[in-house]
């Protein structure tokens, strides 16, 4: 997985949706981490505070862990019985959750791999399972029957990364008395990364749907350029005690009959209406941020992408304004991550002052404001980029609000009420 690109699956057709009922029975608090997907493993310290025998009306139990942030949001979850802690990328743009899964006979396994032989709640999905047959609604992974008559899957990403293994059922076990029911997961025996994925979109096989999570939220701290230091953020499943200050926009949802080839109907699609740079509203039609007849142009909130990406009609307007403001300072013939060419060499503070604040506008007066002090992203080698790339260079037809522009915000996904909430926060100072 490339540093800034959101995985774009080759099998990117989402037809015949079958949304699950998303009533909540879990409420959890997990501080989250963000790390480069290819960074070395870090030491994680966790604590578990839980009530015995909770009922739906009982107060929520809490799971807490300390993590770090730089590119991707990495959470740590206890999988299996007894639990084995697994590091997973929190991804609101993916459906299938999968873990690194290596049996003892495969040596040497990744340091964070899950050993199925140690879990009493683990089971494989046989080839006879409906998910191992083609054309299953809203599940677009290619599956096949392996030599052991188990359901084998392969996940291929547009940037060349991959994961493959078997589909399985396993619990997330929070304490001796509390766990999710068995969830369908991918058990990757071959992959190009050493962490798994926690799929959090609206599909029926996502963690959100299978665990019946009504809402979840996170607060991403700003990236730090201080050597040896990476900041910590927080992640909640269920009620967030800070939600009284959230401002919400309604999700755009799409019926089963509205089948559009370029639309991801399982994404968290929000009604963006405009962009401001340095106080100036750019001349971009609001229709650019909504799906057209073919599904192109939807705007999604995606924790699994680092940079924000815009369709060409919006990207060119943003770049045109940046050229007016700081054109002579642009780094010529430089494209970061294959998608972002608004990059600079020089004093970033002076360049940020010339650019000013960046604002993403939504309906109901809701905004994501990126202050000028954070408008550039340090990508290394003395280069700083605006943090916006071209969606077309990803092979995507959507606008994607990446995690770099969700920093110092509470972002809540209220799945039951089909809305997303935002609130300013100092994510480095949360308890």
Q: Is 215 helix (H, G, I), strand (E, B) or coil?
A: strand
Distances (CA, A) of 233 to 74, 222, 424: 10, 9, 14
Cα(269)–Cα(299) distance, integer angstroms:
5
Cα Rg, the chain, nearest whole Å: 21
Give exposure, 272-286, as e/b (b: 16+ Cβ within 10 Å): bbbbbbbeeeeebee
Distance CA(189)–CA(169), nearest Å, equals 15
Q: Is the dihedral of CA 174, 179, 184, 188 positive or negative?
A: positive
* 318/275 Cα distance (integer angstroms): 8
- Active-site positions read 91, 302
In whole angstroms, give the CA distance from residue 395 to residue 85.
34
| Cα end-to-end distance, the chain, whole Å | 32
Residues 120-142 as b/e (b if ≥16 CB within 10 A, e otherwise) read ebbebbebebeebeeebebbbbe
Q: Which residues of 59-76 are buried (b: 16+ CB within 10 A; e: fewer)?
A: ebbbbbbebbbbbbbbbb
């Amino acid at each position: 997985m490339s540093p800034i690109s959101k995985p774009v699956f080759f099998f990117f057709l989402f037809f015949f949706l079958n949304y699950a009922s998303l009533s909540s029975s879990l409420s959890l608090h997990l501080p989250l981490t963000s790390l480069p997907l290819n960074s070395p493993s870090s030491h994680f310290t966790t604590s578990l505070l839980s009530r015995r025998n909770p009922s739906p009306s009982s107060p929520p139990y809490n799971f807490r862990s300390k993590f770090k942030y730089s590119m991707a949001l990495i959470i740590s979850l206890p999988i299996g019985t007894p639990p084995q802690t697994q590091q997973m990328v929190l991804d609101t743009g993916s459906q299938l959750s999968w873990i690194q899964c290596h049996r003892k006979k495969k040596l040497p396994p990744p340091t964070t791999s899950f050993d199925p032989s140690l879990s009493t709640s683990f089971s494989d999905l046989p080839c006879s399972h409906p998910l191992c047959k083609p054309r299953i609604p809203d599940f677009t992974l290619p599956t096949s029957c392996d030599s052991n008559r188990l359901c084998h899957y392969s996940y291929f990403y547009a940037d060349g990364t991959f994961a493959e293994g078997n589909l399985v059922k396993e619990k997330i076990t929070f304490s001796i008395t509390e766990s999710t029911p068995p969830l369908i997961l991918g058990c990757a025996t071959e992959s190009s990364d050493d962490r798994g994925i926690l799929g959090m979109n609206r599909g029926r096989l996502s963690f959100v749907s299978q665990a019946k999570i009504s809402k979840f939220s996170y607060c991403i701290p700003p990236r730090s350029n201080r050597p040896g230091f990476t900041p910590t953020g927080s992640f909640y499943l269920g009620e967030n005690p800070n939600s009284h200050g959230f401002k919400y926009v309604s999700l755009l949802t799409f019926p089963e009959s509205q089948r559009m080839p370029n639309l991801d109907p399982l994404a968290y699609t929000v009604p963006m209406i405009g962009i401001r740079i340095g106080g100036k509203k750019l001349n971009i039609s609001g229709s650019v941020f909504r799906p057209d007849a073919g599904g192109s142009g939807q705007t999604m909130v995606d924790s699994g992408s680092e940079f924000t990406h815009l369709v060409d009609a919006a990207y060119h307007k943003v770049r045109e304004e940046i050229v007016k403001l700081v054109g002579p300072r642009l780094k010529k013939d430089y494209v970061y991550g294959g998608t972002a060419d608004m990059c600079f060499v020089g004093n970033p503070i002076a360049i940020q002052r010339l650019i000013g604040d960046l604002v993403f506008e939504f309906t109901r007066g809701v905004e994501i404001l990126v202050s000028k002090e954070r408008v550039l992203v340090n990508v290394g080698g003395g280069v700083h980029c605006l943090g916006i790339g071209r969606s077309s260079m990803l092979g995507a037809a959507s606008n994607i609000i990446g995690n770099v522009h969700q920093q110092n915000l509470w972002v809540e996904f209220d799945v039951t009420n089909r809305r997303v909430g935002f609130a300013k926060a100092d994510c480095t100072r949360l308890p």
